[in-house]
Structure 1
Amino acid sequence: MTIPTDLTRDDALRILREEVATLVALPGEPGYERCVPWNVAAPVTPAAVVLATSAEDVAGTVRFAAAHGFTVTVQATGHGAVGVGADTILVLTAAMKHCEVDSLNRTARVGAGARWQDVIDVAAPHGLAPLCGSSPGVGVVGFLTGGGIGPLVRTVGLSSDYVRAFDVVTGEGRLLRATPDENADLFWGLRGGKATLGIVTAVEIDLPPIPEFYGGAVYFDGADTAAVLHAWRSWSVELPETVNTSIAVQQLPPLSGVPEPLAGRMTVAVRYTAVGDFAEAERLLAPMRAVATPVMDTVGVLPYAAIGAVHADPVDPMPTNEDQALLSELPAEAVDALLAVAGPGSGSPQVIVDLRLLGGALVREPQHRSAFCHRDAAFSLAVIGAPTPENAAMVAEHARAVTGAVAPWATGGQMPNFAPSYDPARPARAYAPDTLHWLAALADRYDPSRVLATGQVVRT
């Protein structure tokens, strides 16, 4: 239909209902409340919420927005939400969660609203492993468009390297397919560039055969933090790439679902995953188990379906503040610097301060290059707090102090899926200069009206 151009903003938004075959909710209407993201600290107050059920709903919304001066952004779960303002229409893809597994060819076709748990549920019974992140509750598409660092990253590499194809709606409202051979520039940029080049409506991925792994976490009392962190630093750098590990200084609140030995106190979690020879994996872990007396040990042979138990990330929505630094090395001095700001007696308000060993298969360039940068980082430091209205500024300031403490050993980079923010300097931390240039140039080509120029996207 042809929409008059002299309509008021609110009248135009009401006509949007005639452009898409799904529910459109304006502020105060039923369905609008579904825009609240998993990270409830992010201020998400869009002009309208489109509860998309098809790629056509997404394309129609984008075309409408281009005609009436709105921007469009997308949300499946809202784990990485940074806020949405009143000039933006939010496409909510949560209903588009179809998942079809081809066990013979070890592939899956996954809708934009699916969470990794949805894919695990249908793939794991076939002995196949959807390469999720630490939390299976995170959306598949958002994770993959940010690159994807999972609990097996040193062994299998970047999760987005396993993408075979995307269905994507561009800023012109066109539905395209992106593969290594078709719209190859989009295929390059969608793997790492988040939503810069379009709104992904479906993705096809490879599923490696990993029916089980040796892993879990060993938890130590907070009093042993210094000994455990220093031991982990020395021990981790000698591990083969069949082994993955991270370590987290935790201050978990005494809430339902938090095991009693970990609740309301500082503990240190040594996370561990390994494939291949499980007896050898157990032998390699033994030195860390012996550093101090564990308060809880969950490591053993587990089915791949239990991959989320390694990090045991929170399931329920909560307010979060994140910061991240990538490190080129982790000398003893860096560990001491972290202990001073986040260890026992530091007064740290953070819920988790996490160091993750990188390297291994992550370092190797895949068959098809992508927009993901920083493959050569040796370690990742993530700082996660739970801000309240009363302490939000203090939590954010302290998080910057934690990442600042390791600045002498930091690369200056960040990964797209970590520490989301509107900071205009963030794209330069997430991408190398050449990648920034090409992402921005491609965005201008596929979104000349800048309909998608909102949120964590790269534009000039």
Structure 2
Amino acid sequence: MAAPLPSTAIVELRDAIAGAVFARGDEGLADEAACFNTAVVHDPDVVVGAVSRDDVIEAVSFAAYFGLPVFVQATGHGAFAPITEGLLITTQRLGGVRIDRRSRIATIGAGTRWGAVVEQAARYGLTPVTGSSTNVGAVGYTLGGGLGPLSRTYGFTADWARGFTVVTADGREVRASADENADLFWALRGGKVGLGVVIDMDLELIPLTKVYGGGLFFDTTHIERAMRAWVDWVHTVPDTVTSSIALVRFPPIDEVPEALRGRFALHLRYAFVGEAEEGERILAPMRNAAPAFVDLVGELPTTAIGSIHDDADQPGPAWDRGMQLDDIDQDFVTAFLERAGAGADVPFIAIEIRHIGGGATSTSPSGDDAVGGRLSPFILVMIGVPVPELFDEVLPQSSDRIVEGIEPWIAEETNINFLGHVASTQQFASAWPADAFDRLARTRTTWDPERLFALGP
């Protein structure tokens, strides 16, 4: 536990920082530290709203001098537990995207959301290998690996990272790339946390302007037929297809489109890289498997790629739990629907299963990075109803019951971006292969021997 800060320390920090500085109890701290998940309220000793790399260097040096653990938050996604001590650096103001058209490299500021990168890249006929939501921070998502609608075709987003600018625990600004500080570069591509404060990232873009994609919605009576068809179908599709399904319980509220309002449906998300005619042909078995009451699949510009999953883009209370699955089959469908299907009373607004296996995600193009979850072909995520009173007991217990039913298919390893709330060191370690986790520990010790940067549960 760090000693109380001297009364003059915050004054001196404010003098050194161009951005905002808040001490616990200050008006404005809650807004500066606010998360996308509004059920989590941070209240650290100090918050620094950095507007430059110099601000980050000053904040890290201050924390090291006073023995304060350092936390980092960009867009506020991925927060599942409150920060109640130490120094929080918010990097949301370190935005911006610069694109070198010749090299197809985008330099992306730490606080930049995917939407800005997608829009800028489209001007040059390019696109990033983005996540499913364009509202999420590009850098934070990439640090954990990054999976989205193009993943089976192009791999993890981290596979396209070409360099990072990082402020390390000793207050230095360093470059990490294949040619500079290669051990840190290895760790930043998938290691997620505990390595430093990323100021910006160089990401290679791909020459792509359109996809054939969107969503099919199957009503309650057709969920089982459509899901069984999907489980067989994904074993036949080429690497140019990335898809997922989600059981969605749409609330009967005005914010939900009328066609979906109050329904329990299966949402098939589909993205094909290639000509529309071929994408239509490949999707035909799913269109023929059961009648879709809404069909939104068609040719899309890459600027509309976020519409495929149509993830939430407004803050609110959130609870989710994720894991990866080994190969699934019809027995899995039976076990899953028994506990999560139409006959089950479960407090989840969505349960998604993403197919990521058999394509470019399976191997690292560099042959060596810290990304977890490459060898498990499916990801399952349970998203609870946004009622915080259910977060501590009801949702964990309900998710446990589903997990018990599908346990034979649950993989030992998962990916840190999809893990959800991390409650134990063992759970945290499951986000990487054992050898990668051990190597990450050694790399963190090299770059942060005093464990300044917060890590794990």
- Give the TM-score of the pair, scaled to structure 2: 0.95
Deviation per CA, 1:71-121, whole angstroms, max 9, x where unpaired?
111111121013343322111111111111122321110100000001111
Question: 2-side partners of 1:269 and 1:228: how far apart?
Answer: 10
**Aligned AA for 1:241?**
D
- Determine helix, strand or coil for the equivalent of 2:353: strand
The answer as to whether partners of 1:19 and 1:64 remain within 8 angstroms in 2 is no
| Equivalences for residues 315-394 of structure 1 within 5 A | 315-359=313-357, 360-367=359-366, 369-392=368-391, 393-394=393-394
Q: 1:29 aligns with which of 13, 16, 26?
A: 26
Change (3 A) 1:267 1:31: same
Change (3 A) 1:11 1:87: farther
Equivalent residue number for residue 72 of structure 2 = 74
Shift of 1:136: 0.2
- Determine helix, strand or coil for the equivalent of 1:425: helix
Deviates more, 1:112-121 or 1:323-332: 323-332
Equivalent residue number for residue 406 of structure 1 = 406
Q: What count of residue pairs does the alignment treat as equivalent? A: 452
- Determine helix, strand or coil for the equivalent of 2:300: strand
Shift >3 Å, 4+ stretches: 5-11, 254-257
Deviation per CA, 1:389-411, whole angstroms, max 9, x where unpaired?
33222122212332332210121
Identity among equivalent positions (%) equals: 38
**Aligned AA for 1:431?**
W
- Determine helix, strand or coil for the equivalent of 1:390: helix
Equivalent residue number for residue 447 of structure 1 = 448
- Determine helix, strand or coil for the equivalent of 1:203: strand
Question: 2-side partners of 1:113 and 1:250: how far apart?
Answer: 30
The answer as to whether partners of 2:43 and 2:85 remain within 8 angstroms in 1 is no
The answer as to whether partners of 2:106 and 2:202 remain within 8 angstroms in 1 is yes
- Determine helix, strand or coil for the equivalent of 2:249: strand
- Determine helix, strand or coil for the equivalent of 1:351: strand
Question: 1-side partners of 2:348 and 2:203: how far apart?
Answer: 35
The answer as to whether partners of 1:39 and 1:319 remain within 8 angstroms in 2 is yes
Shift of 1:19: 3.1
The answer as to whether partners of 2:213 and 2:297 remain within 8 angstroms in 1 is yes
The answer as to whether partners of 2:127 and 2:302 remain within 8 angstroms in 1 is yes
Deviates more, 1:81-90 or 1:411-420: 81-90
Deviation per CA, 1:355-390, whole angstroms, max 9, x where unpaired?
111121111221252111221111111111134233
Deviation per CA, 1:150-170, whole angstroms, max 9, x where unpaired?
111000011111011000111
Structure 1 portions without partners, runs of 5+: none
Question: 2-side partners of 1:146 and 1:436: how far apart?
Answer: 13
Deviation per CA, 1:166-199, whole angstroms, max 9, x where unpaired?
0011122211100001000000000111122111
Question: 2-side partners of 1:28 and 1:428: how far apart?
Answer: 35
Change (3 A) 1:331 1:59: same
Deviation per CA, 1:31-69, whole angstroms, max 9, x where unpaired?
312211001122322222211111111111111111112
- Determine helix, strand or coil for the equivalent of 2:430: helix
Q: 1:15 aligns with which of 9, 12, 15?
A: 12
The answer as to whether partners of 2:353 and 2:380 remain within 8 angstroms in 1 is yes
Deviation per CA, 1:258-287, whole angstroms, max 9, x where unpaired?
221222221110110001132111011111
Deviates more, 1:116-125 or 1:390-399: 390-399
Structure 2 portions without partners, runs of 5+: none
Question: 2-side partners of 1:153 and 1:8: how far apart?
Answer: 46
- Determine helix, strand or coil for the equivalent of 1:270: strand
The answer as to whether partners of 1:108 and 1:207 remain within 8 angstroms in 2 is yes
The answer as to whether partners of 2:57 and 2:167 remain within 8 angstroms in 1 is yes
Equivalent residue number for residue 108 of structure 1 = 106
**Aligned AA for 1:440?**
A
The answer as to whether partners of 1:97 and 1:114 remain within 8 angstroms in 2 is yes
Equivalent residue number for residue 425 of structure 1 = 426
Shift of 1:10: 5.3
Question: 1-side partners of 2:26 and 2:292: how far apart?
Answer: 51
The answer as to whether partners of 1:318 and 1:386 remain within 8 angstroms in 2 is no
Q: 2:278 aligns with which of 277, 280, 284?
A: 280
Question: 1-side partners of 2:7 and 2:230: how far apart?
Answer: 57
**Aligned AA for 2:16?**
E
Shift of 1:255: 4.2
Change (3 A) 1:455 1:425: closer
Q: 2:219 aligns with which of 211, 218, 221?
A: 221
Query: What is the CA RMSD across the aligned residues, in angstroms?
Result: 1.7
- Determine helix, strand or coil for the equivalent of 1:126: coil
The question of 1:437 aligning with 2:422 is answered no
